Amino acid sequence: MSAIPVQIGRRVPVAPEMRADGPLVDTHGRVHRDLRISLTDRCSLRCTYCMPEQGNEWLARESILSVDEIVQVARVAAAAGITTFRLTGGEPLLRRDIVEVVRRLSAIESIDGPVQVAMTTNGIRLDDALDDLVAAGLHRLNISIDTVRPERFAALTRRDRFEDVRRGIEAAAASDLRPLKLNAVAMRGVNDDELCDLVDFAIAHGAEMRFIEQMPLDAGHEWDRGTMVTRDEILAALAQRWQLSEMPGRGGAPAERWLLDGEHTVGVIASVTAPFCGDCDRLRLTADGQLRNCLFSADEFDLLPVLRGDRLSDGDSDAAIDAVLRGCVWAKLPGHAINDPSFLQPARGMNAIGG
Ligand code: SAM
Ligand code: SF4
């Protein structure tokens, strides 16, 4: 396979047909560099915008990828130009083998050198696991926290675990992992009165606060565009307190970044009101071996038969994984169509896709 150096967010001329080598390019010229790997659909919280309180239909245990299977897909993806793996879920720290996953993924070489391994977590158990994760090669952390008020946290996540999350964030703050990012979904009437407090909390922990527009990925299918807190409203709330200046150089990153009084930074991920699909360089692997080319796609590309087909040699199964990766990227639509009246929410909830 040829090693073609590419840059994040870069587009390349579109070939008339899908290529069998080179970087993972779609029919719109977008080069894919980032693979989000969901390790489980299970979670220690039940955030209202993500999971149902009860009655979740869990993925079948026997379909969950083993470490060997995850590493095989990741290795083939890296050879095809993926440079970052982001571990997510569900809650990735619920996997007992999480340190081994990080250790083996971080040993993979990409076409540009060692891959970057990042994780998005709710922070519970992080204080216990962090030293081992860093020693295993973890590069970056995003920790989700939607409120700094413990009672509100318990209502929003349906679990009384604020102190566990706070301890995890303190452990991350004391580590060398930088940049450290805290994620909050902005919700009207729930936490939109504490956006500045969240920024203060992030600053106090040496982290960057990132606000996310709520997306239609909740288990209850109750998302309402009319009540969603928009990027403009988030910025207006912050502007009451700080002078905001936009930072250039976004590349393929989902967050627009702003300087507050020329000193601190904040990110806003406006997937609904300012979609960034045109620069998307991301692919997703679910915990049960399905490749997805978009959070919102209706189609999945099944890797389980390739990974578990007993008639394939290692070399043949690598080639088959590469072909599935390329087919999945080639089928990617130009955008997510949330704003189209015909939009249908995906069958999987966010916890089973991997955020
Ligand atoms: N459990 C981990 C966590 O919460 O960080 C990782 C998985 S979670 C699905 C990843 C991210 O997706 C979190 O930052 C969460 O806030 C975000 N998320 C979940 N549901 C969402 C929704 N409906 N709209 C926007 N963001 C969402
Ligand atoms: Fe769990 Fe993360 Fe979903 Fe909250 S957002 S329920 S922590 S997977």
Residue 3 has what pLDDT? 34
Question: For 182, phi and psi rounded to 5 degrees?
Answer: -110, 135
| Residue 127 CB neighbours (<10 A) | 18
88 lines ligand 1 (CB under 6 A): yes
Within 176-310, strands assigned E span 180-186, 208-213, 244-246, 256-260, 264-269, 282-285, 290-292, 301-302
Q: What is the tally of helices (H) and strands (E) in the chain?
A: 10, 16
What spacing in Å lies between the alpha carbon of 19 and ligand 1's midpoint?
34
Testing ligand 1's pocket by substitution, the residue of 187, 295, 350 carrying the most ligand atoms inside 8 A of its CB is 350
Q: What is the pTM of this model?
A: 0.94
**Nearest ligand to the C-alpha of residue 353?**
1
Q: Which domains does the chain have, with CATH numbers?
A: 3-9+22-353 (3.20.20.70)
Residue 10 has what pLDDT? 59
What spacing in Å lies between the alpha carbon of 228 and ligand 1's midpoint?
15
Residue 273 has what pLDDT? 93
Q: Which of 180, 233, 236 is nearest to 204 (CA)?
A: 180
215 lines ligand 1 (CB under 6 A): yes
44 lines ligand 1 (CB under 6 A): no
- How many whole angstroms separate alpha carbon 275 and alpha carbon 184? 18
Kindly give the number of the ligand 1 atom that is closest to the alpha carbon of 49: 23
Long-range contacts of 125-132 (CB under 8 A, 24+ apart): 125/44, 125/93, 125/94, 125/164, 125/168, 126/93, 126/167, 126/168, 126/169, 126/171, 126/172, 127/167, 127/168, 127/170, 127/171, 129/93, 129/98, 129/99, 130/168, 130/171, 130/172, 130/175, 132/99
What spacing in Å lies between the alpha carbon of 259 and ligand 1's midpoint?
24
Residue 9 has what pLDDT? 52
| Residue 58 CB neighbours (<10 A) | 12
Q: Which residue has the tokens 């952390």?
A: 141
The residue whose CA has the least distance to atom 2 of ligand 1 is: 121
Instruction: Cis check for the bond before 346: say yes or no (omega within 30 of 0).
Output: no
120 lines ligand 1 (CB under 6 A): yes
What spacing in Å lies between the alpha carbon of 50 and ligand 1's midpoint?
7
Tens-level pLDDT at each residue, the chain (355 residues): 333 333 345 566 676 688 888 899 999 999 999 999 999 999 999 999 999 999 899 999 999 999 999 999 999 999 999 999 999 999 999 999 999 999 999 999 999 889 999 999 999 999 999 999 999 999 999 999 999 999 999 999 999 999 999 999 999 999 999 999 999 999 999 999 999 999 999 999 999 999 999 999 988 888 888 889 999 999 999 999 999 999 988 877 899 999 999 999 999 999 999 988 989 999 999 999 999 999 999 899 999 999 998 777 777 899 999 999 999 999 999 888 787 777 888 888 899 999 8
Residue 347 has what pLDDT? 84
Residue 1 has what pLDDT? 34
DSSP 112-177: TEEPEEEEEE--TTHHHHHHHHHHHT--EEEEE-S-S-HHHHHHHHSS--HHHHHHHHHHHHHSS-
Testing ligand 1's pocket by substitution, the residue of 185, 217, 295 carrying the most ligand atoms inside 8 A of its CB is 185
78 lines ligand 1 (CB under 6 A): no
46 lines ligand 2 (CB under 6 A): yes
Kindly give the number of the ligand 1 atom that is closest to the alpha carbon of 215: 24
**Nearest ligand to the C-alpha of residue 46?**
2
